[in-house]
Amino acid sequence: MRPMTQTRLPSGLGFMKMHGAGNDFVVIDSCGRPTPVVTPALARALGDRNRGVGFDQLAEIRDSDQADFALDFWNNDGSRAGACGNATRCVSDYMMRKLGQDRVSLVTARGALSAVRLADGRVSVNMGEPQLDWASVPLAQAVDTLHLPLAGDPVAVGMGNPHCIMFVEDAEAVDLPAVGPGYEHAPLFPQRTNVEFASLTGPDRLRMRVWERGAGITLACGSGACATAVAAHLRGLTGRKVILDLDGGVLEIDWREDGVWMTGPVAHVFDGTLPPEFLAAHA
C-alpha cells in the first residue's frame, strides 16, 4: 500500500475507507500538514451515508513529536470521540505499511498507545488501562460503577470514552433503537455514553451488541469490546482473556498487566478524493 498524497485545492482531499469487523471509518492522512483539516461540519457531511461517504467514526492522522503518529477521532454527528479501538487498529496497519515496520506507537486523547501486526495479518492494539472509578469514566456523581443505579444493573467502564455495559440473557433479543438512546443520554453520563449489551455464550466467550454515542447501531465497537470484557471479568463471568462475537465479526480481548489488548481483523476498502466543491460547501 503506498502512502497517499493529499492536498486541499485544487485537487481536493484524499481519504481512505477502512473497517475493522464491520466497524467502518473514513481515514484522512494529515501527516505533514501544519494544522488538522477536519471540522465538525466536514465530519457531519462525510458521515452522511446518503450525501457523503458514510462512517461510524472518522480518524485523522497527524504528526507527533512523542510517537510515530497521533490520531483524532470524530463521530458521524460531528462530535469528537475520545477513543476508537478498531479505527486505531486499522490506521496502525496502514502506518506500519507506510513506515515499513511491524509495530507502531501513537498518541490519542486516550494517551500513548502501541500496536503490532501479528503473523496472521490481524492487528493488536494496547488500549491502556480501564478507567474504573466514577470520576474518570466519567459519571455525574459518586456511585458504585459495578452496579449503576439504572435499569438493567449496568456496569460503567471508561476506555478513553464512557461505556455502559449490561449483561442480559440474550443480546440478540435487545431492541437497540428502542433502548440505546435512553442510556446514551442518561443524566448519570455527562458526556453521554456508548451502550453495550452482552450475553455469556460459553467459557470466556460473549455475544455483544452496541449502541454508540453519536453514531447509533454499529457492527462492532473496539473500545466497547474492551470495556465489556473488563466488566465481565469484574462481575466474575469470565477470565481476563475473552472472545467477543459482534454483529460484524470477532474480537479478542486480553486484559494484561500493561493494559487491555484488543486483536482483530483490518480491511482497507478503497481510496477516494473529496472534490474542492464538496470541501467548500462544508468548510
Mean pLDDT over 161-171 rounds to 98
Q: What region, left, alpha or beta, does residue 253 occupy, with left being phi > 0 and alpha being psi -120 to 50 degrees?
A: beta
Please say if 226 is a catalytic residue.
no
Amino acid letter, residue 139: L
Contact 156, 163 (CB under 8 A): yes
Asked whether the domain spanning 155-257 has the same topology as the one spanning 13-127+266-281, the reply is yes
Class for the domain spanning 13-127+266-281: alpha beta
**pLDDT single digits (tens) 209-233:** 999 999 999 999 999 999 999 999 9
Provide the grid cell at 231. Answer: 466488566
**pLDDT single digits (tens) 108-127:** 998 999 999 999 999 999 99
Catalytic residue among 90, 164, 221, 226: 221
Residue 60: which H helix or E strand, with range?
Answer: strand 57-62
Amino acid letter, residue 283: A
Residue 4 has pLDDT above 70, yes or no: no
Residue 144 CB partners (closer than 8 Å, separation 6+): none
Distance CA 126, CA 199 (A): 24
Mean pLDDT over 66-87 rounds to 95
Average of per-residue pLDDT values in the chain: 94
Four-way CATH pick for 155-257: 1.10.290.10, 3.10.310.10, 3.40.1110.10, 3.30.1370.60: 3.10.310.10
Residue 7 has pLDDT above 60, yes or no: no
Q: Where do the structural domains in the chain lie, given as residue ranges? A: 13-127+266-281, 155-257
Half-sphere exposure of residue 193: CA atoms within 13 angstroms, side-chain side: 30
Contact 193, 258 (CB under 8 A): no
Mean pLDDT over 156-161 rounds to 96
Please say if 84 is a catalytic residue.
yes
**pLDDT single digits (tens) 189-214:** 999 999 999 999 999 999 999 999 99
| 102 SS3 class | coil
Catalytic residue among 31, 84, 90, 226: 84
Mean pLDDT over 129-137 rounds to 97
Q: What is the model's pLDDT at position 110? A: 87
